A and B are shown apart, each in its own frame.
Chain A
Amino acid sequence: MVLKEMKSTLPPGSYYFSGNEAAAEGAIAAQCGYYGGYPITPSSELMHRIASRFRETGGVFMQMEDELASICSVIGAAWAGARAMTATSGPGFSLMQEAISYAIMTETPIVIVDIQRVGPSTGQATRPGSGDMMQAKWGSHGDREVIAISPWSVQEMYDQTINAFNLAERYRVPVILLSDEAIAHLRERMEVRERITIFNRRKEKGAPPFGAGDDGVPPMPAFGEGERLLVTASTHTEYGIRKTDDPLVQAKLSARLHNKIVHKREDIIEYEKYHMEDAEVVVIAYGFTARSSLFAVEKLRQEGKKVGMIRLKTIWPFADRLIRNLGAEAKKIFVPEMNMGQMAGEIMKYTPCEVISFSQTNGEAIYPHTIMEQLGRLL
């Protein structure tokens, strides 16, 4: 595991970027060398910026013929040695699911930015939603452990894209940035620091490319390094040899793919707590909704109400321990979402506490006063 400190690709200082632009710059900062994408509102500006900036940075940009070609080319490039990514929205994300399953089974590090919009299906292309939370986790056949992150600011679109690349390389897994139209098109000041930390993929010549390694994560070789790699998404041995008639091989592989993320979730999961000291009602929020939630919570605290907030930065793997331990503190948990309670359901799994799911799926961001009104009824 080699952490490398590098100079930033942008001169350090303040920038006034949109979320899409910031994510593109984050990818460049993270040394992204290949982008294969397809236009889809509201993610396209990210691709535009990459297309022009890669001419300066020397990255390879391909606009492919559809989302399937995009994600497949990203995986191919990753195995050729690239730090590779794509960006899309809900409908495009749906098209990519089979390939994401392939990336999980072959343990290919890739980054997918999903700028969520209103669904289902075509929905409202230019309006925010949070309808892909479960798709990020379970979008393809078979079991699936991925890492998914929900940024809430333009700054995080930059920082968390860098983090996404590092996590993908560290755990050899697809990492999904679950953003939405509101953040993607929001313009905000963000800071670029002098130096950033990049995780370089582990190399170990001759080591089994699908073997356990020290922590369940194998080294990541590339084509052209003389390893004569055998990459297949069929059930395979540690050397990539297809072995579909042996229950032991499948059991071992399935367990390792699961455990390498689940057993390390405490290292992966990030969240923030606000005003939790004596909170009786806890708001659990993520992404753009968390901004309105925090405003509401702070306003209510000024009025002396015992309300706190947890912002989930990591969506998957889910912060189950955090939720389990909440029960002791909180009496009620309030979960505002721009979907029909996708994360509220997940939270309910881990706590006996009353969970109030608040859904707003009209294509508008949830405003602070809405959250205040809802919380008012609980307090």
Chain B
Amino acid sequence: MPFCPGCGDRILLRLILTAIDELKLNMGDMLFVSGIGCAAWIPSPHFNADTLHTLHGRAIAFATGAKMFNPKLKVMVISGDGDLADIGGNHLIHAARRNIDLAVICANNMVYGQTGGQVAATASKGILTATTTAGNYYRPFDLCKLVNAAGATYAARYSVTQSTLLISSIKKALQTEGFSFIEVISPCPTQFGRRNQLDTPKATFKFFEDRLITKEDAEGLSPQELEDRIITGEFSNGRS
């Protein structure tokens, strides 16, 4: 597999397949759609199913066409944060608005890993990347809030280090009718880690693990206390 040693996507790949296996879903009924980037390589060419490797940012648009024409296909979109939320941002929010029956897995490493570690819209302030050598200036998206505001039925955030919770969440996304979105913290030791003086995969993972906080623990904390924290859990859209 083409993932770097220590890449979070390796783990995510296994967790996705485990979830599908536990649900006893038939891979023959599934369609996996991905964009361009490291995470887009999770299903294509590795999954023994119909896979559609598309253009940068457009996975959700391709997936919408396939799903709307043949609703019998069980469609999962697997791609990275830059792909889905930067260049693909418009398609992401519209699919959420339309509540298209898709399960979207967004592997978030805060950078464009495949092209050399440029900053992505999910990067925390101050992060060093190939294009933010003085530290990232802009705020990141909160993708779960974004897709919920747009109309998603299910939105959750977990790290690849929370395997049980993440598998359970993936299963839920696959079984939910409507637009399901899971932001997966999937660290990139090669591009993100090294530039931020996290010289090993272990150090890179620790960087993210230290920031993780459950939704329950985050309750009652001030915005200042929550700055740089990554809140995990399932997030209600406030409508149901």
**Residues of A at under 8 Å CB distance from B?**
33-34, 36, 60, 62, 64-66, 68-70, 72-82, 84, 98-99, 102, 222-224, 226-234, 240-242
The 7 closest A-B pairs by CB, nearest first: A73-B65, A76-B65, A76-B62, A72-B61, A77-B65, A232-B53, A76-B66
Set B29, B49, B50, B55: member contacting A98, Cβ < 8 A: B55
Across the interface, do B61 and A230 meet the contact criterion of CB distance under 8 Å? no
CB under 8 Å from chain A, chain B span 27-77: 27-29, 31, 33, 44-45, 48-55, 58, 61-70, 72-73
Flag if A80 contacts B90 (CB, 8 Å): no
Task: Kindly report which residue of chain A lies nearest to residue B33, judged by CB atoms.
Answer: A76
The answer to whether B66 touches A72, judged by C-beta atoms less than 8 angstroms apart, is no
Knowing A229-B51, A241-B45 are in contact, say whether A77-B90 is a contact too (CB < 8 A). no
Instruction: Indicate if the CB atoms of B65 and A80 lie closer than 8 Å.
Output: yes
Bound together, the chains give a CA A79 to CA B61 distance in angstroms of 13
B94 touches A81 (CB 8 A): no
Residues of chain A lying within 8 A (CB to CB) of residue B50: 223-224, 227-229
Q: Is the CB of A79 within 8 A of B49?
A: no
Interface CB pairs A-B, < 8 A, 17:
A65-B91, A65-B94, A72-B62, A76-B62, A77-B69, A78-B65, A79-B52, A80-B73, A82-B70, A84-B69, A224-B72, A228-B27, A228-B48, A232-B44, A233-B53, A241-B45, A242-B53
Taking the closest CB of chain B, its distance from the CB of A62, in whole angstroms, is 6
Instruction: Name A77's contact: one of B28, B45, B53, B68 (CB within 8 Å).
Output: B68
Task: Find chain B residues with CB under 8 A from A79 CB.
Answer: 52, 66
B146 smallest CB distance to A (angstroms): 15
CA distance A74 to B58 in the complex (A): 12
**B91 surroundings in chain A (CB, below 8 A):** 65, 68-69, 72
Counted as pairs of residues, one from A and one from B, with CB atoms less than 8 Å apart, the total is 122
Assuming the A-B contacts A79-B66, A80-B73, A82-B69, are A73 and B29 also in contact, with contact meaning beta carbons closer than 8 angstroms in the complex?
no
A81: which of B44, B49, B55, B69 is its contact (CB, 8 Å)?
B69
Q: Is B63 in contact with A226, judged by CB distance below 8 angstroms?
A: no
Q: Which residues of B have CB within 8 Å of A34?
A: 65, 68-69
Cβ-closest chain B residue relative to A71: B61
Q: How far apart are the CA atoms of A66 and B87 in the complex, in Å? A: 13
Task: Please measure, in the bound complex, the distance between the C-alpha atom of A76 and the C-alpha atom of B66, giving whole angstroms.
Answer: 5
B66 CB contacts on chain A under 8 angstroms: 76-77, 79-80, 223
Least distance between B184 CB and chain A CB atoms (Å): 23
Interchain CB contact (< 8 A) of A72 among B49, B51, B54, B69 = B54
Since A74-B65, A82-B69 are in contact, a sample of 15 more A-B pairs with Cβ atoms closer than 8 Å, ordered by chain A residue number, is A62-B68, A72-B61, A73-B65, A76-B54, A76-B63, A78-B65, A79-B66, A81-B69, A84-B65, A102-B55, A224-B31, A224-B70, A229-B51, A230-B53, A233-B54
Residues of chain B within 8 A (CB-CB) of A73 are 61-62, 64-65, 68
Most buried by A among B44, B48, B62, B72: B62
A231–B68 CB distance below 8 A: no
- Closest B residue to A81 using CB positions: B70
Contacts of B45 in A (CB 8 A): 230, 232, 240-242
In the complex, how many angstroms separate the beta carbon of B90 from the nearest chain A beta carbon?
6
B73 surroundings in chain A (CB, below 8 A)? 80, 223-224
Residues of chain B with a CB closer than 8 A to A102's CB? 54-55
Closest B-chain residue to A70, C-beta based? B61
Closest Cβ–Cβ distance, residue B224 to chain A (whole Å):
36
Asked whether A72 and B68 contact (CB < 8 A) given A66-B90, A231-B52, the answer is no
- Please determine whether B53 and A231 come into contact, CB atoms closer than 8 angstroms: yes
Collect the chain B residues with CB atoms within 8 Å of residue A222's CB: 70
- Check A69 against B90 for contact (C-beta < 8 Å): yes
Residues of A within 8 A of B70 (CB): 80-82, 222-224
Q: A130 to B69, alpha carbons, bound, how many Å?
A: 33
Contact call A228/B28, Cβ cutoff below 8 A: yes
- Which single residue of chain B is at the shortest CB-CB distance from A82? B69
Contact A76 B44 (CB under 8 A): no
Complex interface: chain B residues within 8 A of A65 (CB)? 90-91, 94
Identity of the chain B residue whose Cβ is nearest the Cβ of A69 in the assembled complex: B61
Are A99 and B68 also in contact (CB < 8 A) when A228-B50, A230-B45 are? Answer: no
CB distance from B70 to the nearest CB of A (A): 4
Q: A26 → chain B, closest Cβ, in Å?
A: 20
Contacts of A77 in B (CB 8 A): 65-66, 68-69
How far, in angstroms, from A227 to B91 measured CA to CA in the complex? 28
Q: Would you list which residues of chain B between 137 and 159 have a CB under 8 Å from chain A?
A: none
Are B51 and A231 touching (Cβ within 8 A)?
yes
Docked CA distance A231–B54 (Å): 8
- In the complex where A62-B64, A65-B91 touch, is A80 in contact with B69 (Cβ < 8 A)? yes
Measured CA separation A144–B67 after assembly (Å): 28
**Does B94 lie within 8 Å of A76, measured CB to CB?**
no
